[in-house]
């Protein structure tokens, strides 16, 4: 890494560490070697222009290698490596947000504001749900690592380990352990252990689970002075080359006649066996190999669908992987879930199941999940499944509390399930799954006319790898 870049990275790490001083957490040994020298100047960055959302980009004194920008965003004094800053669901001027008894109107279009932060292969999406900062979805003094998701979650002073997700949560001065999923409204000064799944709605419900540390390590292991390791990392590495080809061509042809109502991003990898139905959204950095996608299915960023069939109205949330599996209609697969069937031991998921975010199902015998189940945790066989699932109807009946294996649930099961179902409906809606040829247009229909623009860093000199100051306005 050359001088200016190194200085910038040092400064970002230092700022994050200062924010985390209460937790006595030193960021540097974890991340210093994560951005390989030479990589920051090697890849172009790119941004999309559509006529569906306001154009506004501002980049200053930052490295942006391989990163993608779609919505309104500012990036200042930051290093983004192969990260996605989508922002096409940001709130707009005049939108009214209901927060408890308050109706708050936006005074201007929301923007994603990234300052003094380093994001490595991080997905930033959705809109900020912090009523204190409706117009700014901020990410400050934060280091986020491989395949983490920052989803509607403003962060200040955070260290986010690989494959962790912060979702609809404002996060101040926290360490989020590897493969943790946090959806908790607001958290402060916490060190979240790896593999924690925590879904909390204050006064309504609190779902908590932690992946067994010794079994999780096989999938993702992240320690100081070492690259992240494990099955998740290997899985991504093995498919890296397929993406290189598509990032290296200006124009690509669609492999298949695609329905008019569906969109397949030009930065997705798709083979010729794949079949795409109506109202389907395939986002960039998605990977489809012999995938059958029924009407209204979506495959979001960093998702992989391999030798699998999705009947329709399926949500495959950011980072989810579905291999050798058959999913019924309306199955929801949460963020970064890893559903690994095998050719001789396929996974079958019944219709309307909810696979909680960050669930691992990795089987060596065929496994069938019945219809309408909620599934979580780490599942290698029938026994694990029995310990880590519950029929939705049983969940709906919980009034106070339930403990099942390492999972604890407090509050109203109905409130929890209803919140999930509402969200699933909303996700399908914004993605265009319900488009009828006229109404209910969503990303699947709107994303068909994105034009992509590439930007490159200084190729030489002390600023090598950093980008010039770039402003793009309507």
Footprint on this chain of a second copy (rule: CB under 8 A): 44, 49-51, 55, 247-251, 449-461, 463-464, 468-474
C-beta closer to a second copy: residue 54 or 185 = 54
Tokens 């924690």 sit at which residue?
Answer: 196
Kindly state the smallest distance separating residue 464's Cβ from a second copy, in Å.
8
C-beta closer to a second copy: residue 49 or 258 = 49
C-beta closer to a second copy: residue 234 or 462 = 462
Is residue 228 within 8 Å of residue 162, measured between CB atoms? yes
Give per-residue burial for 263-273: e unless 16+ CB within 10 Å, then b: bbbebbbbeee
Kindly state the smallest distance separating residue 56's Cβ from a second copy, in Å.
9
* CA 261 to mean position of chain CA atoms: 24
**Angstrom distance (rounded) from CA 56 to CA 74:** 8
Kindly state the smallest distance separating residue 4's Cβ from a second copy, in Å.
12
DSSP string, 369-386: EPSSEEE-SEESSHHHHH
C-beta closer to a second copy: residue 39 or 275 = 39
Is residue 71 within 8 Å of residue 90, measured between CB atoms? yes
Kindly state the smallest distance separating residue 240's Cβ from a second copy, in Å.
16
Residues 6+ apart with CB under 8 A from 367: 341, 345, 347, 348, 361, 379, 381, 382, 385
Kindly state the smallest distance separating residue 417's Cβ from a second copy, in Å.
40
C-beta closer to a second copy: residue 188 or 471 = 471
Element containing residue 15 per DSSP (H, E): helix 3-19
Kindly state the smallest distance separating residue 448's Cβ from a second copy, in Å.
9
**Angstrom distance (rounded) from CA 46 to CA 50:** 13
**Angstrom distance (rounded) from CA 158 to CA 171:** 7
C-beta closer to a second copy: residue 49 or 419 = 49
C-beta closer to a second copy: residue 157 or 442 = 442
Is residue 122 within 8 Å of residue 142, measured between CB atoms? no
Tokens 């101040």 sit at which residue?
Answer: 172
Question: Minimal CA–CA distance to 65: which of 78, 48, 50, 74?
Answer: 78
Token representation of residue 175 = 């360490």
**Angstrom distance (rounded) from CA 355 to CA 205:** 18
Kindly state the smallest distance separating residue 17's Cβ from a second copy, in Å.
30
Is residue 58 within 8 Å of residue 75, measured between CB atoms? yes
Kindly state the smallest distance separating residue 469's Cβ from a second copy, in Å.
4
Give per-residue burial for 62-98: e unless 16+ CB within 10 Å, then b: bbbbbbbbbbbbbbbbbbbbbbbbbbbebbeeeeeee
Kindly state the smallest distance separating residue 454's Cβ from a second copy, in Å.
5
C-beta closer to a second copy: residue 261 or 314 = 261
C-beta closer to a second copy: residue 309 or 464 = 464
Residues 6+ apart with CB under 8 A from 85: 67, 68, 69, 70, 71, 73, 75, 112, 114, 124
Token representation of residue 460 = 């030489």
C-beta closer to a second copy: residue 47 or 179 = 47
Kindly state the smallest distance separating residue 128's Cβ from a second copy, in Å.
24
Kindly state the smallest distance separating residue 263's Cβ from a second copy, in Å.
13
CA distance readout (Å), 124 to 117, 390, 391, 439: 13, 31, 32, 28
* Cβ count near 13 (within 10 Å): 21
C-beta closer to a second copy: residue 60 or 239 = 60
């Amino acid at each position: 890494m050359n001088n200016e870049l190194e200085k910038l990275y040092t400064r970002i790490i230092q700022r994050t560490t200062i924010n985390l001083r209460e937790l006595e957490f030193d960021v540097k040994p974890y991340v210093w070697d994560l951005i390989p020298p030479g990589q920051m100047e090697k890849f172009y960055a790119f941004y999309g222009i559509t006529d569906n959302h306001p154009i506004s980009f501002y980049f200053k004194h930052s490295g942006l290698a391989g990163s993608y920008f779609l919505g309104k965003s500012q990036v200042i004094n930051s290093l983004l490596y192969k990260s996605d800053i989508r922002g096409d669901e940001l709130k707009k001027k005049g939108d009214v947000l209901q927060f408890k008894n308050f109706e708050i109107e936006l005074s201007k279009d929301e923007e994603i504001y990234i300052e003094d932060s380093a994001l490595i292969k991080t997905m930033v999406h959705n809109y900020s749900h912090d009523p204190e900062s409706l117009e700014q979805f901020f990410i400050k003094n934060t280091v986020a690592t491989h395949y983490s998701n920052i989803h509607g979650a403003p962060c200040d002073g955070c260290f986010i380990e690989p494959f962790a997700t912060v979702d609809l949560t404002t996060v101040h001065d926290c360490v989020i352990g590897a493969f943790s999923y946090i959806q908790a409204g607001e958290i402060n000064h916490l060190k979240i252990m790896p593999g924690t799944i925590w879904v909390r709605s204050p006064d309504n419900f609190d779902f908590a689970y932690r992946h067994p540390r010794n079994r999780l390590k096989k999938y993702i292991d992240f320690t100081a002075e070492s690259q992240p390791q494990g099955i998740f990392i290997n899985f991504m590495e093995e498919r890296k080359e397929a993406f290189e080809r598509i990032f290296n061509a200006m124009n690509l042809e669609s492999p298949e006649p695609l329905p008019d109502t569906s969109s397949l991003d030009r930065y997705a990898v798709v083979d010729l066996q794949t079949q795409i139905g109506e109202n389907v959204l395939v986002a960039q950095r998605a990977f489809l190999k012999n995938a059958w996608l029924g009407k209204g299915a979506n495959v979001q960023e960093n998702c992989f669908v391999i030798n699998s069939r999705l009947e329709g109205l399926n949500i495959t949330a950011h980072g989810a992987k579905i291999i050798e599996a058959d999913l019924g209609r309306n199955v929801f697969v949460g963020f970064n879930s890893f559903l690994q069937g095998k050719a001789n031991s396929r996974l079958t998921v019944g219709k309307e199941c909810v696979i909680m975010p960050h669930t691992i199902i990795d089987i060596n015998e065929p496994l069938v999940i019945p219809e309408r189940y909620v599934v979580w945790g780490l599942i290698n066989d029938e026994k694990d499944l029995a310990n880590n699932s519950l029929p939705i109807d049983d969940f709906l009946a919980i009034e106070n509390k339930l403990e099942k294996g390492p999972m604890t649930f407090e509050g109203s099961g109905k409130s929890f399930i209803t919140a999930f179902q509402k969200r699933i409906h909303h996700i399908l809606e914004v993605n265009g799954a319900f488009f009828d040829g006229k109404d209910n247009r969503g990303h699947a229909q709107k994303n068909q006319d994105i034009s992509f623009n590439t930007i490159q860093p200084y190729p030489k000199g002390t600023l090598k790898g950093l980008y010039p100051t770039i402003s793009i306005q309507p």
